[in-house]
Copies of this chain bind each other. A is one copy, B any other.
Amino acid sequence: MNLAPPDALAAKISLHTPLTDPERAALGGFVRRTQTVLPGVTLAAAGEPLDIATIVVDGMLARTKMLRDGRRQILSLLLPGDLVDAHASVLKTRDDNLEALSRSEVAIVPQSRVAEVGAQHPRLHEAFLREAFIEAAIVREWVLNVGQRNAMEALAHLFCELHYRMNAVGRVAKGAFAFPLRQQDLADALGVSAVHLNRVFLQLRETGLVTAGGKTLTIVDLSGLRQAAHFDSDYLHLDRANTALSA
By a beta-carbon cutoff of 8 Å, the part of chain A in contact with chain B is 46-47, 63, 65, 67-68, 71-73, 75, 87-88, 90-93, 95-96, 126, 129-130, 132-137, 139-144, 146-149, 190-191, 230, 234-235, 237, 239
With known contacts A91-B133, A129-B90, A143–B143 Cβ distance under 8 A:
yes
Is the beta-carbon distance between A87 and B133 smaller than 8 angstroms? yes
Point out the residues of chain B lying under 8 angstroms from A90, CB to CB: 126, 129-130, 133
Contact B91 A137 (CB under 8 A): yes
Q: Are A146 and B146 in contact (CB under 8 A)?
A: yes
Residue of B at shortest CB range from A67?
B148
Q: Are B234 and A73 in contact (CB under 8 A)?
A: no
For the complex with contacts A93-B237, A139-B139, A142-B143, 16 further pairs of A-B residues with Cβ separation under 8 Å are A65-B140, A67-B230, A75-B140, A90-B126, A90-B133, A91-B133, A91-B134, A93-B234, A95-B140, A95-B141, A95-B234, A129-B129, A135-B136, A139-B140, A139-B143, A147-B147
B234 engages A147 (CB within 8 Å)? no
Q: Separation in Å of the A53 CB from the closest CB of chain B?
A: 13
A90-B126, A126-B90, A129-B90 known; A144 vs B95 contact (CB < 8 Å)? no
Contact partner of A87 (CB less than 8 A), chosen from B63, B92, B129, is B129
Give Cα distance in the complex from A109 to B71, angstroms. Answer: 41
Q: Hey, which chain B residues are within 8 Å of A96, CB to CB? A: 140
Nearest CB to that of A90 among chain B residues?
Answer: B130
By beta carbon, the residue of chain B nearest A142 is B143
A143 to B75 CA separation, bound complex (whole angstroms)? 7
Q: Taking A73-B147, A139-B140, A149-B67 as contacts, is the C-beta distance between A237 and B95 under 8 angstroms?
A: yes
For the complex formed, measure the closest distance between the CB of A223 and the CB atoms of chain B, giving whole angstroms.
16
What are the residues of chain B within 8 A of A68 when measuring CB–CB? 230
Question: Could you list 28 A-B pairs, sorted by A, with CB under 8 Å?
Answer: A46-B234, A65-B140, A65-B143, A65-B144, A67-B144, A67-B149, A67-B230, A72-B148, A73-B147, A75-B143, A90-B126, A90-B129, A91-B130, A91-B133, A91-B134, A91-B137, A91-B237, A93-B234, A95-B237, A96-B140, A132-B133, A139-B139, A139-B140, A143-B143, A146-B146, A146-B147, A147-B147, A147-B190
